[in-house]
Amino acid sequence: MANILVVEDDIIINQVICEFLKENKYNVVPVFDGQIALEKFNSETFDLIILDIMIPSISGIELLKEIRKNSDVPIMMLTAINDEYTQLISFNNMISDYVVKPFSPTILVKRVENILRNTTKENNIILNDIIIKVNEGTVLHNKNEVILTKKEYDILVYLAKKTGKIVPREQLMSAIWGYDDSYSRVLDNHMKNLRKKLPSLPLKTIVGRGYQIEEI
């Protein structure tokens, strides 16, 4: 079941979106404030974000830019703003769709289905004998499920999606925990556990630079 963050400060619109999505078997997390949305994003894993632009604390555009520093999660902009400049900024920050209010909730659900369908190719990541089923939130090793904590799983997926690239320690801390304390030992403990649970994981520590899952 896809997990969708709905960021919309109009209570009625937010409720309508959430109800239609729930009826179509999606799990939804409604928020009404940009800062709270950022905190939710940093603490949970989402398959899609529906994002209004005119929201309190942090505008939708600023929130979009902040999310894009660490994530390529699909984002649908949902707004009354219809000018070309705003749409260009949004698409330049790799949004998946731009929906202008007023909108049909039924069509909105179809757009959500389309976005998620187009991202299904990313739902299975294969690393040697390890399969990460991103859409299901599970990890298999030699066809047997491996139980990971949420943080371990988030670290694995984040690094796996950047296979071949060196991910700085600070970037990983910021993406998973929401802060970039490079001296914290919490990340080392999670890496140790990942290597123990998934011994065939092609994970390297690049001293002084960060971590890398090697291309196979």
Report the predicted TM-score, pTM, of the whole model to 2 decimal places.
Answer: 0.59
For 71-120, what is each residue's pLDDT tens digit? 888 999 999 998 999 999 999 998 999 999 999 999 999 999 999 877 75
Round the average pLDDT of the chain to a whole number and report it. 90
DSSP state of 120: G
Tally of helices (H runs) and strands (E runs) in the chain: 8, 12
Helix (H, G, I), strand (E, B) or coil at 41: helix
Residue 178: CB partners within 8 Å, gap ≥ 6? Answer: 39, 42, 43
Mean predicted confidence (pLDDT) in 159-187: 85
Q: What is the total residue count of the chain?
A: 216
Q: What is the pLDDT of residue 205?
A: 93
Asked if residue 23 has pLDDT above 60, the reply is yes
The answer to whether residues 173 and 155 touch, using CB atoms and an 8 Å cutoff, is: no
What pLDDT is attached to residue 58? 93
Band (pLDDT 50/70/90 cuts) for residue 122 is low
Q: How confident is the model at residue 190 (pLDDT cuts 50, 70, 90)?
A: very high
Quick count: other Cβ atoms within 10 Å of Cβ 27?
A: 12
Residue 128, token pair as written in the block: 């040697």
Residue type at position 3:
N
Distance between CA atoms of residues 147 and 111, nearest Å: 33
Cα–Cα distance measured from residue 34 to residue 12, given in angstroms and rounded to the nearest whole number: 17
Whole-number pLDDT of residue 121: 53
Tokens 């990971």, residue located: 148
Q: Is the pLDDT of residue 176 over 60?
A: yes
